Amino acid sequence: MHRVAVIGASGFTGAELLRICAGHPTFEVARATGDSTAGKPVAEVHPGLAPVYPHLELEAYHPGVADGCDVVFCGLPHGASQTIVPEIADRAGVVVDLAADFRLDDPDLYPAWYGQSHTAPELLDQFAFGLPELFRDDIRHAQLIAAPGCYVTAAALALAPLAAAGAVEPTGIIVDAASGVSGAGRSPRPDTAFCAVDEDFRAYGLLNHRHTPEMEMALSRHAGAAAEILFTPHLAPMNRGILATCYARPTGAPSTGDALALLADAYSDEPFVTVSERSPSTKATLGSNSVHLTARADDRTGWVVAIAALDNLVKGASGQAVQCANLALGIDEGAGLAAAGLWP
């Protein structure tokens, strides 16, 4: 068995980590932290987990929670991991951070996009970027892993095979994506309350969303050419899901069949990626670690369109983190992860 700690277990990604770990064949959650809920049973904070964690209690974070753990998952808001990771990096076998604290390889990007300097820049080049379908060799047996978020995962998987094959220009790319409200986290905010979100659909983070440089970095690294992306996120009145519609200019005259073939060939051996002519649906990925992809080439306008759907809390967060941990530990990459979505 592998001993696991979940730091930040009171939030949505923490709850999803606990749920996935409960069904994992070798993971055993030994410690779970939640500073605002310290002392409360997991069953009280997350009632749906009561059958699998009847006795586990949340505790306040301290570095000792990592001691003796094979894996530590950090499901914390941006900025918090920069303080915590230096304290636990040498105390656990593998550390997987779900926040953006260690995803970017250039420390100068943090003040530009996050409004603050990085407090542990010396650790950035020690982290593997945790998107297995594109960077599996970097993740395998890594000790520090930064799992990318939902928007970046969806856009990168939709665009990477097209850009890597030279079928589309790496610059001038447009990504329009919609997220379920759980992507904003569990803490209440006026703009994510039920009455604000219900019957509404809106764009936010116009021109300066902080995940833009992460998308560009992932695409540039995989395709071997500098990428430039205009990203516009939207908030949709649903609990879970990401739907990313990505537009790129072709380098030649590809057909829809060509675009679909590039995606299908790139992911032919990937158990969590489904490529088809069907238009992807967020509901089809609900509760799964899967990504559904399609593509079209439009002769009339000269655009190539690639679309991805995924569950933002699973493949876009906690499921991806577990997938990375499996790789780092040298066990079955899909252990504990569902490929099939829930329906209805």
Contacts of 271 (CB under 8 A, 6+ apart): 333, 334, 339
pLDDT digits (tens, 9 = 90+) for 126-178: 999 999 999 999 999 899 999 999 999 999 999 999 999 999 999 999 999 99
Which phi and psi (to 5°) does residue 271 adopt? -70, -20
pLDDT digits (tens, 9 = 90+) for 17-40: 999 999 999 999 999 999 999 999
Q: Check if the beta carbon of residue 240 is closer than 8 Å to that of residue 311.
A: yes
Kindly report, as residue ranges, where domains of CATH 3.40.50.720 are found in the chain.
2-147+315-329
Rounded to whole angstroms, how far apart are CA atoms 238 and 284? 14
Question: Which two three-digit tokens encode residue 30?
Answer: 């030994």
Which superfamily does 151-311 belong to?
Dihydrodipicolinate Reductase; domain 2 (3.30.360.10)
Give the rounded percent of residues in the chain with a pLDDT score beyond 90. 94
Question: Which residues are the active-site residues?
Answer: 150
pLDDT digits (tens, 9 = 90+) for 79-128: 999 999 999 999 999 999 999 999 999 999 999 999 999 999 999 999 99
Determine the Cα angle at 286 with ends 41 and 163, to 5°: 120
Rounded to whole angstroms, how far apart are CA atoms 175 and 232? 6
pLDDT, residue 3, reads: 98
pLDDT digits (tens, 9 = 90+) for 242-286: 999 999 999 999 899 999 999 999 999 999 999 999 999 999 999
Domain 2-147+315-329 sits in CATH at 3.40.50.720
